[in-house]
Structure 1
Amino acid sequence: MDRRELAAFLRSRRERITPADVGLPAGTRRRTPGLRREEVAQLAFISTEYYTRLEQARAPRPSREVLTGLARALRLSDAERTHLHHLAGAPPGPAAGPPRQVRQSIVDLLRRLPNAAAIVVSAMYEVIAWNDLAAALMEDFSALSRRDRNLARRAFLGPHQDERRLYGVTDAGEFARATAENLRAAAARYSDDPELTELVAELHAGSEEFARLWASHDVCARPTLCKTFRHPLVGPVSVNCDVLDLADRDQRVVIYTADPGSPSEEALRLLSVIGTQRMEVPG
C-alpha cells in the first residue's frame, strides 16, 4: 500500500468533482474546489474520520468494499478504479458485469448525427443509448423495459412483428451467429455476472438456433458492412453499418448511414420527420 500516493490520488479526484455532478447542492463558503471530505465519505458510505485519515496518509489499508464505494463516489473510470486498487495494495478482481453507463460525449455524438441512425450496445447486447433516427428506424427503445431492449433476446426469442425478424434486417441469420459468438466471449470476461449468465441460460433454453450456435464454441464474429431494414412505413432501407469500439467501456457504437442520393437516404430523411409516431393509412 502506497499511502502517500493513495492520499494524493484521492485528493485530486475529489477536487475535480462538483457538487452538481453527484446531485448535491453547491451551497456557499466553499474554500476549495470539488467536494468536501465529508461529502465523499457520505457517498462512499464510510466515516468522515476514516476518509480524512486516508487523505492524510494515516489510515490502514482499505477493504475492497471501501475501495468500491470510493470508486463509485469519485466517479472513477475503469482505469482509475484499477489504479486506486493498486495504490491500496489490493489489485482489483474482474469487473462484476458489462458496463452500462455511456459517456456523455458519446451520447452527445449520437445527437449530432441527424442523418444517421446510431445506437450504443453493451457487451451483452443491451441497447443503452440511441438517437431519434435509430428509434424511428428500429423501435422506440424509450418505451421498452431494460429487458426488452436486449437485441440478443430480440433476435432469438422475438417478438417478430409482422413476421419481420429483428426489424426485418436481411442479415438476421448472420447477426444471430455473431451475437452468439460475442456473447460467448463476453461470458468468459464476466463469468461472475448473474445477469449475463441468466441471459445465456434463457437463450439456450428458448432457442434451438442459439443452442446450436453456442455449442460451436466460436468466438470470432465477422463484421457486417451493410444491411437492409424492411420498415413497415417507408419500405426497404439499405444502410452501411459501421461499428466503433469503446474499449474502456466494452461497448460499441453502431452507426447506420445510407449512400448519398440513394432512395434509402430519402427514406431515412422521411423517418427523421415521421419519428416514432404511428401512421394510419386509410383502407
Structure 2
Amino acid sequence: MNRTELADFLRRGRARLEPSDVGLAPGARRRTPGLRREEVALLAGMSVDYYTRLEQSRGPRPSRQMLTALARALRLTDDERDHLFHLVGEQPPRRDPASAHVRPGLLLVLDRVYDSPAQVVTDCGTVLAQNALARALIGDVLARPPRERNLTRRFFLDPAARELFPPEDHPARARDHVAHLRAVAAARPDDPEPAALVAELRAASEEFARLWDTHEVSLRHPATKRFLHPVVGLLEVDCEVLLSHEDHHHLVLHTARPGTESHDRLQLLRVVGLQDMAPRGAVG
C-alpha cells in the first residue's frame, strides 16, 4: 500500500469537487477550494477521523468496500477508480455490465435532482447511490451491509421494508418485483447474480416462490407509487425510470404533482432530509 500516493490522490480528488457537484449545499464561505474532509466522509459512509488519517498517510489499509465508497464519493472515472485500488495494492473490480461502479455522469444527474427522491439501482434491484431526499424517504440504504441493499431481497425477507408502503399495496408491489426479476434473469442467463437471487428467494419466501411460478414478466416502467412515511404520512408519487443500458443501471425518480398534498409533504420531507445531511463542526 502506497500511503503517500494514496493521500495525495485523495486530497487532489477532494479539491477538484465543489458541494454542488455532489448534491450538497455550499454552506459557509470556504478557506480552501473543494470539499471538506467531513463531506467526503459523509458521502463515503465513513468516520471523519478515518478519512483524515488516509489523507495524512497514516490510515489503515481500506477494504474493497471502502475503496468503492471512496470512488463513488469522489466521482472517480473507471480509470481513476482502478488507480485508487492499485494504490492500496488491490485488484480493481471487473468492468462487467453489472458493475457497482456508477459512472460520474450518472452521478452528476443524480446530484442535480434536489427536489425529488432519486437513486441509482441495478437491474437486479441493488441500490448503488441515493440523493438526500431518497435517504429521507426510504432510509440510508448504503449504510446497510451490501447484502441488505437489494430492494427485492428486503421486500420479501425483511418485514420492516414493507412498512414503507400501505398494506393494501403489498400484493401489487410483490408481483412487480418478481416480474421484473424474471425478465432480468431471462435476459442474462449466464450472469450468476440474478440466478443466485432467484434461488435464495425461492428457498426463503413462499410468497416469492408462488409468484415466481406464475411466470409474469415485466420490466420497470413509469408508474404511480405510494409511500407511507412515519413523519410526513402518505405520499403518492410518479415513478420515472431512466435506463443506462450499457451498465444495467437505472436512475429512478419519484416526483409529486405540484398543487397536491403529496407535493407539499415531499417539500416538507426535503427540509427534514437536508437538515439531517448538514455536516456538523465543519472546518476548511
1:232 to 230, 233, 242: 230
1:172 to 170, 173, 179: 170
Distance across 2 between alignment mates of 1:136 and 1:25 = 29
Distance across 1 between alignment mates of 2:102 and 2:220 = 25
2:194 to 183, 193, 196: 196
Q: Which residue of 2 aligns with 1:145?
A: 145
Distance across 2 between alignment mates of 1:180 and 1:267 = 30
Q: Within 5 Å, which residues of 2 pair with 1:1-283?
A: 98-160=98-160, 165=162, 167-169=164-166, 171-221=169-219, 223-275=221-273
Distance across 2 between alignment mates of 1:258 and 1:25 = 39
Distance across 2 between alignment mates of 1:252 and 1:179 = 15
Q: Over the residues paired in the alignment, what is the CA RMSD in angstroms?
A: 3.0
- Report if aligned partners of 2:179, 2:216 keep a CA contact under 8 Å in 1: yes
Query: Which amino acid letter does the alignment assign opposite residue 141 of structure 1?
Result: V
Distance across 1 between alignment mates of 2:197 and 2:213 = 16
Give SS of 1:134's match. helix
Query: Which amino acid letter does the alignment assign opposite residue 143 of structure 1?
Result: A
Distance across 1 between alignment mates of 2:103 and 2:257 = 29
Question: CA 1:156–1:244 in 2, change beyond 3 Å: closer, same or farther?
Answer: same
Could you tell me how far 1:224 is from its partner in structure 2? 4.8
- Report if aligned partners of 2:119, 2:134 keep a CA contact under 8 Å in 1: yes
After superposition, give the CA deviation of every residue in 1:71-123 in whole Å (9 maximum; x if it has no partner): x76989xxxxxxxxxxxxxxxxxx96623221111111112111110111102
- Report if aligned partners of 2:120, 2:129 keep a CA contact under 8 Å in 1: yes
- Report if aligned partners of 1:96, 1:192 keep a CA contact under 8 Å in 2: no
Question: CA 1:269–1:245 in 2, change beyond 3 Å: closer, same or farther?
Answer: same
- Report if aligned partners of 2:256, 2:262 keep a CA contact under 8 Å in 1: yes
Higher-Rg member (1/2): 1
Query: Which amino acid letter does the alignment assign opposite residue 164 of structure 2?
Result: Y
Distance across 1 between alignment mates of 2:169 and 2:108 = 29
Query: Which amino acid letter does the alignment assign opposite residue 231 of structure 2?
Result: L
Q: Show structure 1 runs of 5+ residues with no match.
A: 1-18, 27-71, 77-94, 278-283
After superposition, give the CA deviation of every residue in 1:23-61 in whole Å (9 maximum; x if it has no partner): 5999xxxxxxxxxxxxxxxxxxxxxxxxxxxxxxxxxxx
Give SS of 1:210's match. helix
Give SS of 1:160's match. helix
Q: Which residue of 1 aligns with 2:27?
A: none
Give the TM-score taking structure 2 as reference length: 0.59
Distance across 1 between alignment mates of 2:11 and 2:252 = 37
Query: Which amino acid letter does the alignment assign opposite residue 139 of structure 1?
Result: G
Question: CA 1:175–1:221 in 2, change beyond 3 Å: closer, same or farther?
Answer: farther
Distance across 1 between alignment mates of 2:112 and 2:235 = 21
Question: CA 1:98–1:227 in 2, change beyond 3 Å: closer, same or farther?
Answer: same
Question: CA 1:131–1:101 in 2, change beyond 3 Å: closer, same or farther?
Answer: same
Q: Show structure 2 runs of 5+ residues with no match.
A: 13-77, 83-94, 277-284
How many pairs are equivalent? 191
Question: CA 1:159–1:187 in 2, change beyond 3 Å: closer, same or farther?
Answer: same
- Report if aligned partners of 1:117, 1:257 keep a CA contact under 8 Å in 2: yes
Give SS of 2:234's match. strand
Could you tell me how far 1:213 is from its partner in structure 2? 1.7
- Report if aligned partners of 2:121, 2:251 keep a CA contact under 8 Å in 1: yes
Query: Which amino acid letter does the alignment assign opposite residue 257 of structure 1?
Result: T
- Sequence identity (%): 41
